[in-house]
Structure formats: structure tokens, C-alpha cells
Structure 1
Amino acid sequence: MSDVAMETRFEVGGMDCGGCARKVDTAVRRIPGVLDVSVSVTGAGMTVSHDDTVDLVAIERKVELLGFTARAAAVAGPTSTHATLASAQEQLADRLGHGHDHDHAPMERGPAALPWWRSVKARVTVAAGVAFVAALIAAGIEPQIAAYAFDAAMLVGLLPIARRALAAARSGTPFSIEMLMTIAAVGAAIIGAGEEGAAIVFLFLVGELLEGVAAGKARSGIRSLNALIPKTAILDEDGRTREVPAALVAIGSVILIRPGDRIASDGVIVDGEGSVDEASVTGESEPVAKRPGSTVFAGTINGDGVIRVRATATAADNTIARVVRLVEKAQESKAPTERFIDRFSRYYTPGVVVAAILVAAVPPLFLGAEWPVWIYKGLAILLIGCPCALVISTPAAIASSLAAGARQGLLIKGGAVLETLAGISAVAFDKTGTLTAGKPVVTDVLGFDRSATAVIALAAALEAESNHPLASAILAKFDGERSGLPAVFNASAAAGRGIVGTLDGLDVFFGSPAAIGDVVVPADRSAQIAVLQDEGKTVSVLVVGNVLAGAVAMRDQPRPDANVGLQALRDIGIKIVMLTGDNRRVATAVASDLAIDARSELLPADKQRLVAELQSEGYKVAKVGDGINDAPALAAADVGIAMGGGTDVALETADAATLHGRVADVAAMIALAKRTMRNIRQNVAMALGLKAIFLVTTIVGVTGLWPAILADTGATVLVTMNALRLLAPPRLRAPAV
């Protein structure tokens, strides 16, 4: 075996639950050359780590024998040699170029699966249902042929199930759900319970179909992210333009983006300027001003002006693609509860088979009981003991939860993170860009020698051509059309001081109070300015001629939803603290507005230390920050949450990220985690509770095969439908007034 490791990603269609994933995993691991396998039901894919001797087509065929489809989608190998990579790619090219025959009907293909009602499973289920109804009619018309009619109806649905059972057994999974169903159905026919055998096969197929619908709904949340990327891009090559598929845009290519177009690649603006709507990626509610040198993200929308962007990532590695991969990887990782149930089911299923054999054989052999009666009860126990509902109780809930979160811009990296989030008791927030919007707004306009209206109009006139964040705040405060601004001439920036210009022959200055030179500032005006500065505000003064005309105060304000989001956390008993590197004056002002505790003037190591102190006091801590200067604290916390997850660091260093950058998203994330854990407990209780009830009633002879299938397929349907409830967005309670 070669020691060169590489990875191939496969699209796998037709998987519905964790049991499907385990069968695929077990089968593929047995193929020579395979080193490791990771299967994602909701991602409809499989990543195989292998050496250069592996046969990729053999992997596809092995998966297809289990009743699924497989298609090698990508090859990657950071530790591979060029020769190794070329070898694998040649296999793919040969398969794609020449194709290969399949000895069975194709099923759903990867993420681009057919609608559930057009799938092979749907057709088989409908055929089994029609056959069962026809058998009922035939039995009513001619009772003598009832047994044959029901046996024939049973075979319509059982043959595909039995085929999958045999394939799974040959691939290392002898105790599959399909095998238990096959034994029970055949046994029912042998002891003359053909009608019940046909019914349980049909109900089993209905349950599988519902699982497929649930998995499809979970996948749709991920696919909706891919829809943000345009299908085509306009390349600008030495002044000539041509339209190409977005997937073909290479790093370094220059893309022409027209007003209203979605940007096809992450990149840097090389020509043009305007505003870009980044809400789909960063959650920024207002369009962001961009100019040459500014970074833009794939999937965002160019608002105005023609810009040219030099691509810095391929289609497979842009921001949206990374988000999708993160969610798929999260869905492949298992929560502690899921891992426990997986281990439990490995012993549980063989145990059920042994119990069913004992129930069927012991009473007739040692107590003189009738064989048909106890064989019937043994078959019922076999159906009752099918672990399908139990096995999917956790992954179905987690997959639905992760998909629902992704659809709302809440990225959670796996079931383990979800379980931890559900137990969070303290949240430590960063300030700038987390609790605050990260951009200043005008809070106060003071008129001294002129009215407040005149002061803001003059300030806006001076700042009209500036791209500085403070200028944007001034212009946003000015309530009027640009045409209504005073006629200020020769406006220019005075580096480090402010803006100067001319109005009616008088020099006008707007900027720092420390830069006004010998202008006389009355004591009361100076006191007013000092009060504003003590409130953590940046103050700029307006001087007309040599007279102090007024002042404008600005501050980075709390996000609009900050109070609502923090109150939602308080309502569920979570301790809140703000950890910031900003100065004490500013931090105290923001903390006062939000009614929270604050620690200020902190270095990254200080934030990490304070998180550790909270943990030592018994709190389970979530740290919320921007994922860059907060990286040590994010790593130290039980859960690190990055606000505005569009950056590489935010996506890669934290356990979770909020793409929309809302404070309320933190409460929504924790609420979603709590709902998920409640849902899992409900699912496990339903799965085991129904089995326990019907196990007792079967032993005492009250129920038989029909109720037994309800204990299995019925529980599976209930668990699946209960998990689907998590796809609805979490609701936050209104804050107390």
C-alpha cells in the first residue's frame, strides 16, 4: 500500500438517515486502499481518504450496490504528489469521458436529486401501496386466493428491500434494518400472515420515504446558500469582455461587475467605486462604500457604479463555498449523544435478534407452546426492535437544526457544539463590531453662534466629497437633498485636523477641538464639549471665520437589536459581560446604555484570562467576538462565536458564527440549541417508549405484527416529523419592559 494520502469527495444520492450513512461507511472502508471515510447524510456526500492504489469506480459501484448513487466530484491532496493526483484525476476523466454501465436502475443523484415524488423510492412505495390495495380487493372478491394475493403484494415492495439487505450483509452490515424487515416479512408469509406481511412492507416503505423528505428539506437549507452565486461572470481581458461560467473564473482574473449584478468571486476592486450590499454574507444592513483596494465577497450585490474586481479565490474556495463546506463538515461530526446511541445500537440490534429467536423457540421447546403462535410473536418483536427510530432520533434533529441555523445565518460546527451551546450559562461579548455597529453615528448637534440646523448643514457641505466614516455619519444626519447644502468652496482635508473650506468669503473649519488654534472657546462651551467627550463621544467643532459656530458629537452606537438580544439572554438566566480593549470612558458609556457589566482596556490575553475566571466560577462560557483579536478568548471559551462570519478567521477559529452580525442571533443560536436538545430527548422517549409498550403487549398476546410495525415505522415517522419542526426559526421572547 502506498503511504501517499489524498482525498476524494463523492456525491451520494438516496441516503435518508444515519443507518444509511453507516452502511456506506462500513462498505467503503473494506475497499483496498481506503484509509478513512466521512459520510454526511444531509450534505449528500462522502469524503474518502485513500492512497494512490484505490479504484474510485469500485467505490462508486460498492455504494450503488447498497441502493444509493455515487459520483466522484473532486480530488484533493495536500500531501499528494503530482503523479498521485494525476492518477486519481485520470480515473475520474476516464469515468466521465467513457461512462460505465450499471446493473440496476439509477436512483437520486447527489445534491441535485429529483423531487421526492419522482424518486425511485416514491415509485416503489406507490407500487407496493397499489399492490396491497389490489390484494385487499382480490381477497374480498375471491377469499380462496387471498394468501397468494397478499404474498404477491408483499414481494413488490420486499424485493428491493431484500436486495439492499443482502448487499449490506456482504459489505459488513448483516444486522441492517432491511435485513430485519426481510426476515419478518418472509416469516409472516410462512406462518400464513401474508396480509400483515404486505402491510408492514408498505408501511416500512412509507417511513423510508418520509425520512427522504426530511433529509431533502435539511439539504435545501444548504443549497439556498449556493444560489447566492451567479452562474456567469463577465471577464475583462485587456479591455475586451466576454461572459464565462462563474466556475471558470481563475485567481487573478479581472471581472466586470455592473450595477445590480451579484459578484461572482471573492476579490479586490482594481477600478471603479460604489456601494455593495453585503447583507447576504456579513449581515451589514446598509450598502458598504467600496473603492480601489477594497475587498468584496462572492454573492454580494453591486449597488451603483461599474467596478472591476481581481479574483482572489476560485469558485470552489470563495466565501459562500467555505460556508457550505463548514456546514456539511459540521453535519458529519457527531454529538456525544449521537455517538452513544451509535455504540448502543451496535449491540442493541443483535440483541433484538437473539431476543426474538428466544421468544419464538423457548416456549414451544420447553413449555409445549404452539410454534406458530410464538414464531408470530418473535417476528413481531423483531419488528418492534428495529432501531431505525432510535438511530435517527439524534442525527435527524441535529441535521434539521444545523440546516435551519444555516438558513438564518447561524453557522454551528456540529452536534457537539450544539450540545454545548444548550448548556451555556454566561456570554462574554466584545464591544466594537459586536455589541456596537462598528461605525459612528451623530448623537448630538450643538449650535453656539449658529443654529443646530445650520451647523449640521455646513458640516455636511464640508464632508460631502469625503469617504471617511465620520463624513458618512454627518451626511446621514443631514436631513435634506445634497442640492440644499450651503455653497462651500475649495473644501479640502487638513491631514490629522479636519476639513477646511470657504463660505461667503470666510474660512470654515470642521474638525478636532485641539486643532482650532487661537479661536476663543468660552468656558461654558468648553464644559459642554468635555461632557460629550466624557460620554465616550468623538466631538468635532465648526469654526466660521474666527468664531466657534457649533459642535457635532459622534459615537459608535449599540446595534439596533442589542438591547432586545441581551434581554433575550437575560430571560433565560444567562450572565452577560462585555470584554473590550477600548478605553474605560467609551466602554462605560456603552455598557451603561446596555445595562451590562464591562471590563475595558484589555489585551487579547486579558480577555482569555477573564473567560477562564468565569469558567472557574462554574459558568459554561460562550465568547462572542470578531474572530481576530478575540481569537485567544474564542479558543478558551466553551463555545467561541464569531460575529459577522464573512472573514476567514471568523469562520475558521470559532465554533460557531453569525453571518448577519446581530446580537439577537446569539440568543437565537442558544435557543435553537436548547430546542434541539429538547427535541432529541422527545425523540428518544418516543422511540424507546413505543417499543417498550408494544414489547409488553406483544408478549402477553394483545398486539401482533400490525401494531409492531407501528412501533417501528410509526416511531420512525413520528421522530422524523418531530425533528422537522426544528426547521422553523426559533422565536425570541419580547424583552421585559
Structure 2
Amino acid sequence: MNEYRIKGLSCAGCAQRIEDEIKGLQHGQDAKLSYNSGKLTLSSDVSMAEVKRILKSDGAYIANAHDHDHSGEHGDHHGHDHSHAEGNSRMLMLLIGSGVIYAAALLLEGVLDQQALILLFLLATVISGYTTFIRGLKNLFKLVFNIDTLMTIALIGAIAIGEWKEATLVAILFGLNELLEGYGMEKARRSMETLLQVAPKEAIKLEQGQELIVPIASLQVGDLVKIKPGEKIPSDGVVSDGRSSVNEAAITGESLPVEKESGEPVYGGSINNEGMLIVRIEKAYKDSSLAKILHLVQEAQETKTPTELFINKFAKYYTPLIMLIAAIVMVVPPLFFQGEWMGSLYQGLSVLIVGCPCALILSSPIAIVSGITRTARNGILVKGGVFLEQLGKIDTLAFDKTGTLTKGEPHVAQIEVYDEKRFFSIAGAIESTSSHPLAKAIMKEVKRKGVTLPVTDEIKTLSGSGIQARIDGQPYWLGNEKSIGHLSIPDSVQARINQMKEDGLTLVLVADDQYVLGLFGIADEIREESRAVIASLHQLGIKHTVMLTGDHPKTAEKVAAAVGVSDYYGGLLPEDKVNRVKELSTQGTVAMIGDGINDAPALASAQLGIAMGKGTDSAIETADIVLMQDHLGKLPEAVSVAKRVNRIIKFNIIVALGLKVIALLLTIPGWLTLWIAILSDMGATIFVTLVSLTILIDSKSLRKN
């Protein structure tokens, strides 16, 4: 399949019609044209001469081309293209010329004779409206009724009844409407393209002591690359040498730089700030985080939401209905109510112009593209407009615990010491030999105490209970309750053990051959932002927040209370999580968020799956939305943007239809004129475009400024 960037698409309806015509060509059945992204995908077997002919008949053209099979070479796909700017500039110049001629004709009224005035009006009409007129005539002969067809009929009718002045104004205002409509969609697309330009094109590869400048697509796993200060890291890898801070905003949306040194992972597309770094490539570019982000964002533009699909279907029946209403307005008053034919004909032509569904069709796509772009800037990847719309509708959010609400890293939550002199030093001496996560948590606490560690003479692992060691000739035990089975535990110590277990803590006990020296109560550390995130989600209208975990119910209860979720379920297997999600789905619209491979089934079964970006590949592949941060901090903003997009789309639809209804009602007293009709259509189009583009504006940054 080949991909082509298309310019000159005047509306979503035109894009759909072009797609249908291309599908009718030989080998064209799989063709797909997205108005939102301006991208045409089709088989290499399709006749390009025929495709260009179809595009040209609608005033569209191929701006640049690239082959889908070379999708690894993203750097070549997003070079800035000025063709759209040239097209808009040309249209603007034509409109200015037309406007000057129209103004001159108005000023010279009464000076020039009627024929000269008509010639000026006709010239102004042709300059600003000839492209619409040609397209409309072609559609009329094909019996295709769309915006261009309606405008062409209206222009012919206005000229036929001698309304030269208003016919010219209609042509100019419609041309201006198309120009502004194009600017609006182009602004949304340009914002998206700017986002996609984060991919570096080349890298400095180190090979046998030589520095070679190579395309990033040629980099292989294991290659060493040199990144100078201010340069972009070409692909995911690990720092082999050097130290610097790295700006990962393009990937995670986090503005603060992250310190990197030898052994630290780095993302492709992030920017090296001040030091020199040598990075060992861990993933070929096409498999890197950045390539996945660019691919997901591009794909996201091309999916249609249920609202868009409904509007397109509605517009399909709406245009013929408007033509029927216009015919009734033209014919019924003169035939049955002694109305004037010329007046009724004029009113009917005005109805045709009011019927242009520009604003209605535009009410959704600009808002959707703006919303996807805005969330992507924050490191939140929405895989399609349908998922953005769904995110704005959720009322229940289910969370995995480990790695989502918690860090997935054990830490010492409580300590009970009975022998201050030996407890920390013995625990440190034994655990220093282990790489177990619990050992790491204990060692962090021991180091914080700054105690000197003795040398272990002998160490032995006890299956299912812990470790036995000999230090300075004396035996010691470290582990769970089974490891101290040789002791008679005092009631006070047993009571403390029971209390810590009740608190949902994992216990590590240290003892010699006679006494318990102390206890470590270990828990999965709760993320600092979790409670604030849950509170923000509740404020945004998420009625039900649920935690699903495989951990012990007591641990689940403690974490749930700490973070503020409205409900929790513990001791769940992956299939149990799926069943809970399905159960919740019967009560509302459910999103599931998780980071582990065991969360993938639940993510897939939820109406909306959200994955933590630093989680497993399977969770990211399964999810509909990906948070590229290693925390939930940006989730409330994503929900807020999604809700705002949905509100704006509804508002746009109400405005678009409302203005048309008001204009149509003006036909009853006979007040509707051609220029009022075009102004109502143009006003609605400009309004919905500007309102949709406000989604791109970050209100927080505005407040800071």
C-alpha cells in the first residue's frame, strides 16, 4: 500500500466522495482517504493517472508521496510542505481581487450603465466562484448533490432572476468561507505535523573508532551512537558512556529534564541537554518508543468517531431534504397562496444556501484532531478519535494496583526493633548478598541508618522461609514466620506480628537462637500522586473508581483507603479481573488502566483500555490509550480534554443546526435574503472552527503568562 499527502480537500464530504470514486477504479477497493490527516492510502496497482483525474475534478491534488512499506523512515515523511500555503495564498488573492471589483461596482452604481455594472459583478463572481461553479456543474450532471451543487444552483438562480449584486456577494462569501474552513483544518493538521517532526533524521554512529553519519532507519541493535549536547537521541537505548540531563518531553510529556549516566535507559526523540553521551542502541528505530508514538498518532487521525459517522450519514440525507424544502418554498406560495414567483424563487435560493452542511460536517473533525494533538503533547497517546470520545464518556475507572496506583517497588513501611545493637547490622550483613526485591528494600533502610556491617561466615537459603547465616560464630535467621519456628515467641511480639499482618504488610523477621531481634513490615510503595489523581477524577465526574489486585484483601484494603478509590477487590487472578470489568460494564462505561502482562485481558475486555507507557509491550499493544509517563499524573488532564472535546462537538452541532433553523424560519415572513443565508452558513463554519481550535490552547500556560 502506498500513502500520499493530499491538499485542496474542501470538506469531509468531498473527501468521502473522492474515496468512493477511487474505490470504483480497478484495484481501488481498499483505498482510504482521511480528511482529518489529508492522507490517501491505496494499492500500488491503481492507475495514478485516474486517481489524479478524480482529485483534480474536486480541486484536490497530491502534495507529496511516500511508500507505506518504508514506514521506518519517518524522518522523510514529515518534511514541511509549502504547497498548502501557496494554494491558500492564491485563493486569498483571488478573493481580494474579487472583493475590490465588487466594491468598485457598488461605488460606480449610478455612474456606469447597467450592462457595465453587470459585467463587473459577473467578473467578480467568476474570479471568486469559478472553481465551485465547475465542481457544482459536474456534480449536477452526475446527480450528486453536495455543497458545491447547492451553491451552483443558487448562483444560477440568482443570476437568472437578475440578482447580480447578491449573486456576487454569495460567491465571494462562499469562497471566503472555504478559505477559512481550509485554514482551520490546516491549523489542526499543522499542529499534528509539528508534533510528528520530533523524529531525528540522522545519527552519528561509532564504528571502529570512526564517526559515520547514517540515517536512523539503518541503526541496528548493539550499535553505538554519539549524541552531542542539543541533539536528539535517535532510538531507544542505554547510556554506554557519559553523563547528562535529557529532556524526554516529546515522549512522556514531562517538562523537567531527567539525569542520565552509564547504564541508564534513554528514549529515541528525547533531547540531550548539556553533556556528551555514547548510547548503545537497544531497539531498531521502527521498534522504538518514538516510532510507535508517531505511528499511533498518525493512525489516530484516520479513525472516525460514532458522532462523525452519524453526522456524515445525516448530511447525506440532509442535503436532498434541504433541496426539497427549497422547492416547496419556491412553488407552494405562488401556486396556493397568491405569492409572487420572483420573491418565492429568491427565498428558495436562499434556503439552498442555508442548507450547506459545512459547519455541521466540520463540527467534529477539527475538535477530534485538536484533542488528539493536545493529549499527545502531554505524552498521552490516544489511538483514535473514537477512543478520545469514549474517554470523555466514562463514568467508571478500574485500576490495577501494582505498578499503577503503587510503584511496584517494595519499601519498608514499619519497623519493630527489640535489639537496637544487632538488628540492623545483622539484617544488612545477610541481605547484602541477595538481589531479592525485599532484600533491596531492607538494604535501603540499613544504609539510611549508616550502620557498619559484619562479615557473614556462612549463609544458607531455607526453602519457603528465608535465610540462615552464621556471623562471628553465632547463628542467625532472617525470613518469614516459618524461619523462626525454633523459638518460643512472647505474646507481645506475636501481637505485634499479628497487627502488622492486619495492616497488610509483608513481614521479614530477624532472630538469633534465643530471641527475635526485630521485624521489618514491607509494603508496595504508594505513588505520591495517586490520591490526588483519584480525587481529581472524582471532581471530573468519574463516579466510580475501583481497584483490582491479586494481592491479599487486607493489603488491598489498606491501599484503597490510602488512595481514596470508591471500591476495591483483592485476591484476583487475571480471569477474575476480566469478570469484574465485565460486571462493571453492565452498570456504566468502564475504562481499565494497568501496566502488567496480567492486565492485558482486562484492558481488552473494558470498553476503554489505558496502559502505563513504561509497562509491558502487551499491555501497550492491547490498550486504546497509552500514558507514556511512569505515573498517573497526566490522566485527569486527558479525561478533562476528552470531556471538553465532547462538549465542544455537541455545542458545535447545536450552533450549526440552530443558526440554520433560525435562518429557515426567516422564510416565513419573507425576510431571508441570499446574503443573510451565506452569512449564517459562513458564521457557523467560522465559529465551530475557532471553537474547535481552542482545544489546542493550554489554559494553564495562559494563566502562567
* TM category, shorter: 0.7 to 0.9
The one-letter amino acid paired with 1:162 is F
2:60 maps to 1:68: yes
What aligned pairs does 1:398-477 form with structure 2 within 5 A after superposition? 398-441=368-411, 443=413
**Which of the residues 129, 135, 160 maps onto 2:96?**
129
CA distance 1:465–1:154, change in 2 (3 Å): farther
**Which of the residues 526, 531, 537 maps onto 1:558?**
526
CA distance 1:569–1:207, change in 2 (3 Å): same
Show the counterpart of 2:133.
162
User: Aligned with 2:610: secondary structure?
Assistant: strand
Q: How far is the alpha carbon of 1:704 from its aligned partner?
A: 0.1
Structure 1 CA distance, aligned partners of 2:457 and 2:156?
89
The one-letter amino acid paired with 1:156 is I
Show the counterpart of 1:589.
558
Show the counterpart of 1:150.
121
Q: How far is the alpha carbon of 1:706 from its aligned partner?
A: 1.0
The one-letter amino acid paired with 1:155 is V
Q: How far is the alpha carbon of 1:607 from its aligned partner?
A: 0.5
2:363 maps to 1:393: yes
Structure 2 CA distance, aligned partners of 1:391 and 1:436?
44
2:47 maps to 1:55: yes
User: Aligned with 1:698: secondary structure?
Assistant: coil
Structure 1 CA distance, aligned partners of 2:143 and 2:249?
47
Structure 2 CA distance, aligned partners of 1:466 and 1:232?
43
**Which of the residues 291, 303, 312 maps onto 1:321?**
291
2:14 maps to 1:14: no
The one-letter amino acid paired with 1:40 is S
Unaligned runs of 5+ in 2: 701-705
Structure 2 CA distance, aligned partners of 1:130 and 1:490?
91
The one-letter amino acid paired with 1:159 is Y
Moved more, 20-29 or 215-224: 215-224
CA distance 1:666–1:308, change in 2 (3 Å): closer
CA distance 1:258–1:335, change in 2 (3 Å): closer
Structure 1 CA distance, aligned partners of 2:418 and 2:23?
79
Show the counterpart of 1:674.
643
**Given that residues 105 and 121 in structure 2 are in contact (C-alpha distance below 8 angstroms), is that contact kept between their aligned partners in structure 1?**
no
Show the counterpart of 2:659.
690
What aligned pairs does 1:179-194 form with structure 2 within 5 A after superposition? 179-194=149-164
User: Aligned with 2:363: secondary structure?
Assistant: helix
2:184 maps to 1:214: yes
**Given that residues 6 and 39 in structure 2 are in contact (C-alpha distance below 8 angstroms), is that contact kept between their aligned partners in structure 1?**
yes
TM-score for both structures, normalised by structure 1? 0.78
What aligned pairs does 1:250-399 form with structure 2 within 5 A after superposition? 250-252=219-221, 254-258=223-227, 262-267=232-237, 269=238, 271=240, 280-281=250-251, 287=258, 297-300=267-270, 306-315=277-286, 317-361=287-331, 363-364=333-334, 369-399=339-369
Show the counterpart of 1:42.
36
User: Aligned with 2:592: secondary structure?
Assistant: strand
Show the counterpart of 1:120.
87
User: Aligned with 2:36: secondary structure?
Assistant: coil
Structure 2 CA distance, aligned partners of 1:615 and 1:306?
48
Q: How far is the alpha carbon of 1:600 from its aligned partner?
A: 1.6
Show the counterpart of 1:734.
none
Show the counterpart of 1:234.
204
User: Aligned with 2:585: secondary structure?
Assistant: helix
Instruction: List per-residue Cα deviations over 1:16-66 (Å, max 9, x = no partner).
Output: 642242133123223221122222233231222x3x642245434532442
CA distance 1:324–1:540, change in 2 (3 Å): same
Structure 1 CA distance, aligned partners of 2:249 and 2:173?
45
Q: How far is the alpha carbon of 1:382 from its aligned partner?
A: 1.1
What aligned pairs does 1:720-735 form with structure 2 within 5 A after superposition? 720-728=689-697
Instruction: List per-residue Cα deviations over 1:280-317 (Å, max 9, x = no partner).
Output: 4357889598877x8754224568884442353344x5
Show the counterpart of 1:99.
none
Instruction: List per-residue Cα deviations over 1:397-455 (Å, max 9, x = no partner).
Output: 32332222222233333343344334323221100111113334554577776699x97
Moved more, 642-651 or 38-47: 642-651
User: Aligned with 1:242: secondary structure?
Assistant: strand
**Which of the residues 633, 638, 643 maps onto 2:612?**
643
User: Aligned with 1:34: secondary structure?
Assistant: coil
Structure 1 CA distance, aligned partners of 2:127 and 2:138?
18
Q: How far is the alpha carbon of 1:575 from its aligned partner?
A: 1.2
TM-score for both structures, normalised by structure 2? 0.81
Moved more, 468-477 or 18-27: 468-477
User: Aligned with 1:35: secondary structure?
Assistant: coil
**Given that residues 651 and 657 in structure 1 are in contact (C-alpha distance below 8 angstroms), is that contact kept between their aligned partners in structure 2?**
yes
Structure 1 CA distance, aligned partners of 2:664 and 2:355?
8
Q: How far is the alpha carbon of 1:76 from its aligned partner?
A: 3.5
Structure 2 CA distance, aligned partners of 1:205 and 1:575?
49
Structure 1 CA distance, aligned partners of 2:395 and 2:581?
12
Q: What RMSD over aligned residues (CA atoms) do the two structures have, in Å?
A: 4.7
Q: How far is the alpha carbon of 1:385 from its aligned partner?
A: 0.6
2:133 maps to 1:139: no
Q: How far is the alpha carbon of 1:708 from its aligned partner?
A: 0.1
CA distance 1:173–1:67, change in 2 (3 Å): farther
Q: How far is the alpha carbon of 1:702 from its aligned partner?
A: 0.9
Instruction: List per-residue Cα deviations over 1:131-159 (Å, max 9, x = no partner).
Output: 31443244314532443323222222112
Structure 2 CA distance, aligned partners of 1:24 and 1:124?
21
**Given that residues 461 and 486 in structure 1 are in contact (C-alpha distance below 8 angstroms), is that contact kept between their aligned partners in structure 2?**
no
Instruction: List per-residue Cα deviations over 1:683-715 (Å, max 9, x = no partner).
Output: 221111111111121343212011100221111
2:594 maps to 1:625: yes
Structure 2 CA distance, aligned partners of 1:438 and 1:173?
63
Structure 1 CA distance, aligned partners of 2:81 and 2:434?
51
Size of the alignment, in residue pairs? 680
